[in-house]
Structure formats: C-alpha cells, structure tokens
Structure 1
Amino acid sequence: MTTSPPEIGPALLNARKARRLTLEQLAQLSGVSRSMLSQIERGETNPTFAVLWNLTQALGIDFADLIAGGPNASQPAIATMTPAQTPEIIGGGGSCRLRILSPARLAGLSEWYLLDIDAGGVLESAPHPDGAFEHFTALSGRFEIRAGDEVRTLNAGETARYPADREHAIANAGPEPASGLLVLLYGRNAGA
C-alpha cells in the first residue's frame, strides 16, 4: 500500500496566507521566484530540497511538518515516497545526482543519499563539521574516493569509510555511469 504524496502546495499556501504575505513578499524573503512559488502552491511543480528549505525558513515553519502535511498530520505506520517526491540535488557540474533518502528531520545528524555519477564525473565536498564521517558503498561501477591527501579505489560491492571533516571527493573512475549509497554521519562516534 502506498500513501498519497504530501500536500506541500496547499500547506505552503496556508502558511503564507496565515502570515499575510503576498507571493512577491515571500519571493523576496525566500529567494524563490514568484512564478516558482505560484507553481508550487498549485501543485504544478515538484520543488527541490533547497527550495523547500528556503521557503520553510522564510515562513518560520518546520520542514518535517511541511513534508508531513502540517504540524498535526497523522502518519501511517509505513510511509512511502515515489521517485517524483524524492528530493534531488545536482552537483559536479551536472554530472552527479544525489537523491535524498533520509527524512528531513535527521538533517545535520545523519543523512543518506543515492548517488549517481556520470563517467568522468566528480562530487567534490568541502569539509563537514568536526567528527563527521562518510560511508560510501559502491552499488555499480568503480570509484575513486579521496579524503584529504589519501585516495582509494572502490569497486562494486565495496564500502569505504572516511573522515568528512576535511576536503573529500567521490569520482567515477569507470567508463560507464555508476551509483552508490552515501551515508553522512555527524558527531564524535560517526566513524565507529
């Protein structure tokens, strides 16, 4: 059994109207264009994680409540998300796609992503907070993992664990597109 998608558009519309903001005012506060806001409120477009984050910050509402459909929305025992509902980040000059699999309420604690990288693509990352660790499992293809000055090759089925509180990168070292599961853990015990 699947659940229906969260009603993000109407929830944003209600939050905006409750704060007596026009589309133009919310656009200025959030940095999201007026036309994009209108499309989101009408349910005509699927906003990215970054756009939703900017909107929730501008409106002063909790991101998890927005995704859940409101602060008092009842949650099913098993929640599902379609591919269209899963936020995606594009990086590496368009060669890397990170699908955000973790719930928004865990951002900054633990995050997990499905990472797809085109042949020759590289996902470079600035240091995360002290103690952060990444765990990357290659699902297909071959990767080159860099953490600081250290570099390792990773083949399908293998996992690399490395400190992410320094510059680090994941590169597709093979001739075909490749994918992997990336888990980012914050805190002193993240590398355990």
Structure 2
Amino acid sequence: MASRIGAAVHAHRTAAGMSLSELARRADVAKSGLSQLESGRGNPGVETVWALATALGVPFSALIDPTEPEETLVRAGEGEATRADAATYAAVVLSHSPAGVRRDLYRIDAEPSPARVSDPHAGGTVEHVVVVTGRARVGRTEDPVELGAGDYLRYPGDVPHLFEALEPGTSAVLVSQQV
C-alpha cells in the first residue's frame, strides 16, 4: 500500500505543478518524510494521508485506492485498512469518488482509545456517519454527539472533528462529500 500511496501523491503533486517543498509545507509534514513516501519507502498514518489529500485538493481515497471496477465486493473484515497514529481507529475505503463525483465511502473500525481528531478537510466537505455497532462520540470537536447503533449524524468536515469509540467493537459507515 505504501508504494501505491507514494505513487499517487507524486502523480497528484506533479499534476498540480507543486514542488515537494511546497506540498510538505502545505501538509505540515517533513520534506524528508514526503520524499521517502513518494519513493515507496514510507508508511504514513491516516493523519498524514488526510493532510496530503487536503493540501493537494483531492479526496483521501485518491491517494490510497486505485480506480475501482464497475462491481466491487468488500466483505466484513476485508479491505486494506489505513490506521490512525494516535487512536485505535482504522478506515477502509469501500468506494472512492469516480470522475466528476466528490464523495468517498468508508468503513470505520474503532476501539475505545483517545479520540481520532481530524484536521479540517477541503472547504465544503460534509461528513455523514452511521454507527453500525457499538457507540461513538462523533462530530465537530467543540460539540461532538454520542451515537449508538443505527444513529446517523451529518456534520461539517471542513472544521476540526473527531470520532471516538466508546465501546469495544465499534464500527460505522462514513461518507465524506465535497460540495
């Protein structure tokens, strides 16, 4: 997965006409780490990938998931997970944005641990979460909402926000949409 992410970052950075130094500055990551990532030697956490996607103005999935075929089956427990550095939180891309659409669909698997706090995504991003199992605190960092299985929340993703599992085995479906 690291080499795929590195190649995608390089391709999007080059297409944007952005230098390695400029992307590192915009994403607030070390230039040396970015260079290693682009060469396929890095192992970025979900926070780094989000920061790079935001700085490049592309959906998160554009950096971690290749173009998907017309039909895709991802069974429970399958899929390549991108893990958070500071929380027991993993995101699996179920469906990324096809051309002309700016939304991604994820399965979130999380355990009680410090909250997964996300920096603001690109302007106009809206996130939709449905908790499938367990309980979680979700939403804007200054006013998160506790959700149980079956509960849905829509909140702005272009402000700091969080996901915190409150019970073991918490899972959710998240749609990130840029409007």
- Per the normalisation by structure 1, the TM-score is 0.55
Contact 2:130–2:174 (CA under 8 A) maintained in structure 1: yes
Letter in 2 for 1:31: S
| Deviation at residue 79 of structure 1 after TM alignment | 3.9
| Deviation at residue 121 of structure 1 after TM alignment | 4.3
Identity %: 20
Contact 1:131–1:165 (CA under 8 A) maintained in structure 2: yes
Q: Distance in 2 between matches of 1:173 and 1:149?
A: 17
Q: Distance in 2 between matches of 1:164 and 1:141?
A: 22
Q: Distance in 2 between matches of 1:183 and 1:93?
A: 22
Aligned partner of 1:114 in structure 2 is 107
Aligned partner of 2:89 in structure 1 is 96
| Deviation at residue 97 of structure 1 after TM alignment | 0.8
Q: Distance in 1 between matches of 2:154 and 2:113?
A: 22
CA deviations over 1:43-80 (Å, ceiling 9, x no partner): xxxxxxx6xxxxxxxxxxxx79x9469xxxxx6x6344
SS of residue in 1 equivalent to 2:144 = strand
Aligned partner of 2:148 in structure 1 is 155
Aligned partner of 1:185 in structure 2 is 177
| Deviation at residue 31 of structure 1 after TM alignment | 2.4
| Deviation at residue 106 of structure 1 after TM alignment | 5.8
Q: Distance in 1 between matches of 2:37 and 2:134?
A: 43
Contact 1:92–1:124 (CA under 8 A) maintained in structure 2: no
Q: Distance in 2 between matches of 1:144 and 1:91?
A: 16
1:126 aligns with 2:125: no
Structure of higher CA gyration radius:
1
Q: Distance in 2 between matches of 1:109 and 1:96?
A: 23
Contact 2:135–2:166 (CA under 8 A) maintained in structure 1: yes
Q: Distance in 2 between matches of 1:85 and 1:139?
A: 16
Q: Distance in 1 between matches of 2:95 and 2:148?
A: 24
1:31 aligns with 2:39: yes
Q: List structure 1 runs of 4+ shifted beyond 2 angstroms.
A: 27-31, 66-69, 77-87, 103-108
Contact 1:133–1:185 (CA under 8 A) maintained in structure 2: yes
| Alpha carbons of structure 1 residues 121 and 28: separation in structure 2 relative to 1, 3 Å | closer
| Deviation at residue 107 of structure 1 after TM alignment | 9.9
Larger CA deviation: 129-138 vs 103-112: 103-112
Q: Distance in 2 between matches of 1:79 and 1:108?
A: 17
Contact 1:92–1:121 (CA under 8 A) maintained in structure 2: no
| Alpha carbons of structure 1 residues 106 and 147: separation in structure 2 relative to 1, 3 Å | farther
Unaligned runs of 5+ in 2: 8-34, 44-48, 50-61
